[in-house]
């Protein structure tokens, strides 16, 4: 017999308890900001422009500095219209539309509601009548709470000036109980303290500006600070480095041995503003996206201020790499041979790279010698985009090399040429990182816009299994006349490797191979490419069924 819902009188004690918990939580995590709280902020953050055009310009600058657009722009979506699925340990979370569309965006939000979103982490509406609609901390309001009120209003003025885009929010796949927003109350009580940052009044405007850009705009700590099992930043280890996807955001504290305290300021500014150099290498992965869309677009003086803050005002974090593995000498020796055959042609026999800015150096590169070996492993598995436009791309070796071979190459480059790390990569770690999906080697920003599927070695909920043997490159250079034969050959090869593959998985494999090629076809609009992809899938179905 189905259970009945309790009647309202029976619910009242539960509602009262919930309200009490909410009130206690509010006392624990809330406080009223006063003018004195921000008196030591940089002057620009406290003096809002009176001219509307200047206010919008200030907002655009802040949105760029905070790197908002990439998170709020999914594949094939207009800028700021949402649609990016962020993978968390608790499930997939879709980013919302923040254009001023009144039905699907923030066009009806008041100033107070917008301020509450950035400062307190709540959006309009309530859950279960009594709970505010808490935002997931994937939206970094834990950092944005430190923004000044005038700057929050400038951000709103800029977003309100954008063309409205109708884009309903995509479905999220957060697992129970994390798909219930009221459970975030406990997280907030434990880990969230709204309110401004308190700056040293003795700092000059440059140091204050660097601190504000770094901390309040969530620029560095959100990726480079380790997190606990509940995904809250561990502030005692601020900027000490942290895993991100299949890479590792290195230590960027002021520590002179393992952080950026030992970098020259010029090298750090070049990394943030000029796509790196041949001394410290180049940004890539999530860091490359950030520099492309944010720090390279703000004034170089801001990057100089960020560098000053990181190098002189942050707590030095001394976190050493893992101990050297058993059998390290043999692993390094094997890795040296593999490097000489497969890597030295581009990165150089001594790891110096290929100037000017064609292939980054590995010697002296802090990304290579980071606490965890993920950056080398991830790059070898999935490859990397070219440093410069039309430059050489790093090919993916994930299908070519075994887990042991990738570990061997990693151990060699982390200890060769004076690199001060340990030989700590293991086949088990390589296998773990293989499971994190990457776009195929032919993929690019265009492929991401088209929504090309991600690929991992074993496949998963959100990825397509790589069939190996370079089969995902089957459509490279294919003419229209050759497409049917290429498709038939690919179907046969995939089935030969996996006779039990389902028709759905085989279709996804074909799409994973063709989509990046289509995405990079010149002279086609995004709409044309989507239609062509649909036609490709339709044409492939009879061939899949026939085999």
pLDDT over 70, % of the chain? 89
- Cβ atoms of 491 and 506 within 8 Å: the answer is yes
At 433, the pLDDT band (50, 70, 90 cuts) reads confident
Whether 4 is in a domain gets the answer: no
| Three-class secondary structure assignment of 479-532 | CCCCHHHHHHHHHHHHHHHCCCCCHHHHHHHHHHHHHHHHHCCCCCCHHHHHHH
Among 387, 406, 436, the domain boundary falls at: 436
Mean pLDDT to the nearest integer, 359-368:
94
Question: Would you say residue 138 lies in a domain?
Answer: yes
pLDDT above 50: residue 420: yes
Burial profile 197-229: b = 16 or more Cβ within 10 angstroms, e = fewer: bebeeebeeebbbbbbbbbbbbbbbbbbbbbee
Give CA–CA dist 505/202, Å, rounded.
61
Q: What six digits make up the tokens of 512?
A: 């994973």
Q: How confident is the model at residue 447 (pLDDT cuts 50, 70, 90)?
A: low
107 has a pLDDT exceeding 90 = yes
- Answer whether residue 412 shows pLDDT above 70: yes
Enumerate the β-bridge partners of residue 430: none
Indicate whether 132 belongs to any domain.
yes
Q: For residue 170, is it within any domain? A: no
Residue 14's pLDDT is 34
For the segment 524-537, the average pLDDT, to the nearest whole number, is 86
387 and 502 co-located in one domain = no
Residue 219 to residue 307: CA distance in whole angstroms: 12
From CA 116, how far away is CA 120, in angstroms rounded?
Answer: 5
Q: Is 452 in the same domain as 422? A: no
Given 416, 436, 456, which residue is the final one in a domain?
436
Q: Torsion angle of alpha carbons 145, 147, 149, 151, nearest 10°?
A: -140
What is the pLDDT, as a whole number, of residue 177? Answer: 79
Asked, for residue 246, whether it belongs to a domain, the answer is yes
The pLDDT of residue 225: 94
- Residue 159, in any domain of the structure: yes
For residues 508 and 193, give the distance between their C-alpha atoms in angstroms, rounded to a whole number: 44
Q: pLDDT band for 128, please (50, 70, 90 cuts).
A: low
Classify residue 199: in a domain, yes or no: no
The reported pLDDT for the residue numbered 320 is 78
pLDDT at residue 464, rounded to an integer: 80
Of 130, 158, 135, the closest CA to residue 55 belongs to: 158
- 396 and 464 housed in the same domain: no
Judge whether 258 lies within some domain: yes
pLDDT at 253: 95
| Cα–Cα–Cα angle for 151, 87, 444, rounded to 5 degrees | 85
Number of domains in the chain: 4
Residue, of 150 and 5, whose pLDDT is higher: 150
pLDDT for 120: 93
Identify the CA nearest to 289 among candidates 442, 143, 445, 394: 445
Distances (CA, A) of 357 to 275, 277, 278, 361, 367: 9, 7, 7, 9, 16
Instruction: Give the pLDDT band of residue 20 (cuts 50, 70, 90).
Output: very low
pLDDT average, residue stretch 330-351? 95
Whether the pLDDT of residue 280 is over 80: the answer is: yes
Q: Determine the average pLDDT of the residues in 343-366.
A: 93
Q: Which domain holds residue 60?
A: 26-31+39-164+176-191
What pLDDT score was predicted for residue 75?
73
Whether 266 and 325 share a structural domain: no
The C-alpha atoms of residue 41 and residue 545 are separated, in whole angstroms, by 66
Read off the tokens for 464: 């397509």
Residue in this structure with the two tokens 């044309």, named with its chain if needed: 528
Q: Over range 322-345, report the average pLDDT.
A: 94
pLDDT band at 77 (very low <50, low <70, confident <90, very high): confident
Q: Where are the alpha helices (DSSP H) in 278-415?
A: 285-290, 300-312, 328-342, 344-347, 374-382, 403-415
Select from 432, 513, 507, 500 the least CA-distant residue to 468: 513
Query: What's the rounded mean pLDDT across residues 218-239?
Result: 90
Instruction: Flag the least confident range among 7-16, 118-127, 249-258, 395-404.
Output: 7-16
Q: How much is the pLDDT for 439?
A: 42
pLDDT of residue 229 exceeding 70: yes
Please tell me the distance from the alpha carbon of residue 429 to that of residue 426, in angstroms, as a whole number: 5
Higher pLDDT: 451 or 251? It is 251
Q: Does the structure show a pLDDT above 70 at 27? A: no
Bridge-based pairing of strands 91-94 and 85-88 is: antiparallel
Domain check: are 465 and 533 in the same one?
A: yes
Eight-class DSSP state of 88: E
Average of pLDDT values for 32-40? 60
Contact 416, 340 (CB under 8 A): no
**Of 436, 455, 490, which residue constitutes the final position of a domain?**
436
Element at 150 (helix H, strand E) = helix 149-160
pLDDT at 37: 64
- In this predicted structure, the answer to whether residue 470 has a pLDDT above a threshold of 90 is no
Cβ neighbors of 92 (< 8 A, separation 6 or more) are: 85, 86, 172, 173, 174, 462
Q: What is the mean pLDDT of residues 104-125?
A: 94
Same domain for 343 and 431, yes or no, is yes
Residue 456 has pLDDT above 50, yes or no: yes
Whether 291 and 368 share a structural domain? no
204, two tokens: 């000059």
First to last CA, the chain: 49
Give the C-alpha separation, 315 to 512, whole Å. Answer: 44
> In terms of domains, do 246 and 348 share one?
no
Question: What's the CATH code of the domain at 368?
Answer: 1.10.760.10
Taking the mean position of all CA atoms in its chain, how far away is CA 448?
Answer: 13
Mean pLDDT of the 413-436 span: 89
Mean pLDDT computed over 249-269? 94
Specify whether 66 is located in the same domain as 186: yes
Strand pairing partners for 122? 134
Q: What is the pLDDT of residue 468?
A: 78
Do 353 and 384 belong to one domain? Answer: yes
What pLDDT does residue 33 have?
Answer: 46
Higher pLDDT, 537 or 213: 213
* Statement to judge: residues 469 and 392 lie in one domain: no
Q: Compute the distance between CA of residue 196 and CA of residue 431 in angstroms, rounded to an integer.
A: 43
Residues whose CB falls within 8 Å of the CB of residue 517, separated by 6 or more in sequence, listed in order: 442, 475, 476, 478
CA count, 13 A, side-chain hemisphere, 523? 0
Same domain, 155 and 45: yes
**Chain mean pLDDT for the chain:** 85
Average pLDDT over residues 503-527: 84
């Amino acid at each position: 017999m189905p259970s009945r819902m309790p009647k309202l009188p029976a619910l009242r004690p539960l509602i009262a308890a919930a309200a009490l918990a909410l009130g206690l939580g509010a006392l624990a995590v809330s406080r009223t900001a006063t003018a004195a709280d921000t008196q030591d902020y940089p002057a620009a953050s406290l003096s809002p422009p009176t001219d509307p055009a200047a206010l919008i310009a200030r907002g655009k600058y802040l949105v760029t500095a905070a790197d908002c657009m990439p998170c709020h722009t999914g594949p094939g979506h207009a800028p700021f219209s949402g649609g990016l699925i962020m993978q968390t340990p608790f499930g997939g979370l879709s980013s919302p539309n923040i254009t001023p569309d009144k039905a699907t965006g923030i066009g009806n939000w008041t100033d107070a509601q917008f301020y509450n979103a950035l400062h307190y982490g709540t959006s309009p509406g309530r859950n279960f009548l009594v709970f505010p609609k808490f935002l997931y901390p994937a939206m970094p309001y834990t950092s944005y709470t430190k923004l000044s009120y005038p700057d929050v209003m400038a951000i709103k003025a800029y977003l309100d000036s954008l063309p409205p885009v109708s884009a309903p929010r995509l479905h999220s796949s957060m697992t129970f109980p994390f798909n219930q927003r009221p459970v975030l109350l406990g997280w907030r009580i434990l880990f969230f303290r709204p309110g401004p940052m308190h700056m040293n009044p003795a700092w000059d405007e440059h140091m204050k500006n660097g601190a504000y850009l770094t901390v309040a705009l969530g620029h560095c700590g959100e990726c480079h600070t380790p997190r606990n099992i509940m995904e809250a930043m561990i502030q005692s280890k601020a900027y000490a480095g942290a895993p991100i996807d299949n890479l590792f955001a290195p230590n960027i504290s002021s520590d002179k041995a393992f952080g950026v305290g030992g970098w020259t300021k010029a090298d750090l500014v070049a990394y943030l503003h000029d796509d790196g150099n041949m001394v410290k290498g180049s940004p890539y992965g999530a860091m490359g996206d950030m520099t492309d869309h944010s720090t390279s677009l703000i004034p170089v003086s801001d990057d100089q201020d960020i560098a000053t803050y990181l190098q002189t005002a942050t707590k030095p974090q001394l976190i050493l790499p893992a101990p050297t593995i058993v059998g390290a000498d043999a692993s390094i020796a094997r890795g040296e041979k593999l490097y000489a055959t497969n890597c030295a042609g581009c990165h150089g026999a001594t790891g110096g790279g290929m100037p000017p800015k064609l292939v980054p150096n590995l010697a002296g590169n802090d990304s290579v010698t980071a606490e965890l070996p993920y950056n080398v492993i991830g790059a070898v598995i999935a490859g990397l985009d070219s440093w410069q436009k039309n430059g050489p791309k790093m090919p993916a070796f994930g299908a070519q090399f075994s887990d042991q071979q990738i570990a061997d190459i990693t151990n060699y480059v982390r200890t060769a040429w004076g690199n001060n790390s340990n030989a700590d990569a293991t086949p088990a770690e390589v296998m773990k990182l293989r499971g994190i999906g990457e776009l195929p080697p032919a993929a690019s920003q265009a492929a991401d816009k088209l929504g090309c599927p991600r690929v991992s070695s074993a496949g998963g909920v959100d990825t397509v299994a790589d069939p190996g043997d370079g089969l995902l490159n089957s459509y490279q250079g294919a003419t229209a006349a050759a497409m049917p034969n290429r498709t038939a050959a690919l179907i046969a090869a995939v089935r030969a490797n996996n006779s039990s593959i389902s028709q759905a998985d085989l279709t996804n494999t074909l799409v994973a191979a063709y989509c990046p090629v289509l995405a990079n076809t010149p002279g086609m609009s995004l709409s044309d490419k989507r239609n062509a992809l649909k036609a490709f899938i339709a044409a492939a179905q009879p061939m899949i069924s026939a085999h």
